[in-house]
Amino acid sequence: MKPQFCAFPLLFAAFFMSALYAQQGESPLPALPADIPKDATLMMLLIDKAPSGQDAVWTTPDGAVHEFFQFNDRGRGPKTYSTYRLDRGGIVTAEETTGVDYMKNAVKETFTAAGGEASWKNSSEDGHQANASGRFFVGLSGGPAGSYLLAQALLKNGGKLPLLPGGETTLRELKTVPVEANGKKLSATLYQIDGLDFTPTYLWLDEQHTGFAAVDAWSGLIRSGYESSFGTLLKAQQEFEQSRAASLAKQLIHHPSGDLVIKNVTLFDSTAAKTVPGQRIVVRGERIASVEAEKGQATASGAQVIDGSGKMLLPGLWDMHQHLFASNAYLDVAAGITTIRDLANSIDELDKLKKHIEAGEQIGPRIVLAGFIDGPGPYEGPVKVLAATPEEARERVDHYADLGYVQIKIYSSVKPELVPVIIEEAHKHGMRVSGHVPAGMTAEQFVRDGADEIQHMNFVFLNFWPEVKETRTPARFIEPGKHAASLDLDSQQVNDFIALLKEHQTVIDPTMTIWEATYVDRPGNISEEDAYMFDRLPLQVQRGAKMAGNALPVPDIATDQLYRASYANFVRMVKKLYDNGITEVAGTDLAKGYSLHRELEIYNAAGIPAPEVLRMATLTAAKVMKLDGELGSIAPGKLADMILVNGDPTANISDIRKIDVVVKGGAVMYPDELYPAMGIRAR
Each residue of 289-301: pLDDT tens digit? 999 999 999 999 9
Are 247 and 323 part of one and the same domain?
Answer: no
Q: 45: which residues sit within 8 A by CB, 6+ positions away?
A: 11, 51, 52, 53, 54, 55, 71, 219, 220, 221
Cα–Cα distances in angstroms (integers) from residue 135 to residues 192, 347, 606, in the given order: 19, 42, 46
Flag whether pLDDT at 458 surpasses 70: yes
pLDDT tens-digit readout, 188-220: 999 999 999 999 999 999 999 999 999 998 789
Residues in a beta bridge with 169: 161
Q: 313: which residues sit within 8 A by CB, 6+ positions away?
A: 262, 265, 266, 267, 268, 279, 281, 634, 642, 643, 644, 645
* 113 domain-assigned: yes
pLDDT tens-digit readout, 232-274: 999 999 999 999 999 999 999 999 999 999 999 999 999 999 9
Model pLDDT, residue 552: 94
* 281 domain-assigned: no
Strands 304-307, 117-121: pairing is: unpaired
Model pLDDT, residue 229: 95
CA 425 to chain centre: 30
Distance CA 228, CA 67 (A): 24
Distance CA 198, CA 331 (A): 9
Please tell me whether the overall predicted TM-score, pTM, comes out greater than 0.85 for this model.
yes
Flag whether pLDDT at 51 surpasses 90: no
Judge whether 478 and 467 are in contact, CB under 8 Å.
no
Is the N-terminal amide bond of 165 cis, ω within 30° of 0?
yes
The residue from 232, 251, 270 where one domain ends is 251
Are 382 and 242 part of one and the same domain?
Answer: no
Cα–Cα distances in angstroms (integers) from residue 230 to residues 43, 71, 149, 220, 496, in the given order: 12, 18, 21, 9, 52
Q: Phi first, then psi: give them for residue 576, nearest 5 degrees.
A: -60, -45
* 50 domain-assigned: yes
Q: Rounded mean pLDDT of the chain?
A: 93
Are 478 and 597 part of one and the same domain?
Answer: yes
* 539 domain-assigned: no
Distance CA 361, CA 355 (A): 8
Model pLDDT, residue 52: 87
Model pLDDT, residue 28: 61
Overall average pLDDT of the 338-349 stretch: 95
Percent of the chain with pLDDT over 90: 89
Overall average pLDDT of the 410-423 stretch: 97
Q: 434: which residues sit within 8 A by CB, 6+ positions away?
A: 343, 370, 407, 408, 409, 410, 451, 452, 453, 454, 455, 507, 509
Q: How many domains does the chain have?
A: 2
Are 12 and 89 part of one and the same domain?
Answer: yes
Q: Phi first, then psi: give them for residue 371, nearest 5 degrees.
A: -95, 145
Model pLDDT, residue 85: 98
Model pLDDT, residue 317: 99
Residue 111 domain boundaries:
7-251
Flag whether pLDDT at 384 surpasses 80: no
Model pLDDT, residue 296: 92
Model pLDDT, residue 4: 31
Judge whether 423 and 450 are in contact, CB under 8 Å.
yes
Are 140 and 228 part of one and the same domain?
Answer: yes
* 362 domain-assigned: yes
List the one residue out of 244, 234, 247, 409 whose CA is nearest residue 320: 409
Residues in a beta bridge with 453: 507
Side chain identity at residue 561, one-letter code: Q
* 672 domain-assigned: no
List the one residue out of 149, 124, 152, 155 whose CA is nearest residue 137: 149
The residue from 629, 650, 677 where one domain ends is 629
Torsion of CA 438, 440, 443, 445, to 10 degrees: -110
Are 458 and 359 part of one and the same domain?
Answer: yes
Are 322 and 237 part of one and the same domain?
Answer: no
For the ranges 140-154, 380-394, 568-582, which has the lowest average pLDDT? 380-394
* 351 domain-assigned: yes
* 545 domain-assigned: no
CATH of the domain at 390: 3.20.20.140
Are 91 and 180 part of one and the same domain?
Answer: yes
List the one residue out of 230, 226, 190, 216 whose CA is nearest residue 7: 216
The residue from 234, 251, 268 where one domain ends is 251
Are 327 and 442 part of one and the same domain?
Answer: yes
Are 25 and 128 part of one and the same domain?
Answer: yes
Residues in a beta bridge with 172: 192
Q: 98: which residues sit within 8 A by CB, 6+ positions away?
A: 80, 81, 107, 108
Overall average pLDDT of the 122-143 stretch: 95
Distance CA 605, CA 595 (A): 15
Are 341 and 203 part of one and the same domain?
Answer: no
Distance CA 599, CA 588 (A): 7
Are 245 and 324 part of one and the same domain?
Answer: no
pLDDT tens-digit readout, 106-121: 999 999 999 999 999 9
Q: Phi first, then psi: give them for residue 245, nearest 5 degrees.
A: -60, -45
Model pLDDT, residue 652: 98
Overall average pLDDT of the 639-645 stretch: 98
Flag whether pLDDT at 1 surpasses 60: no
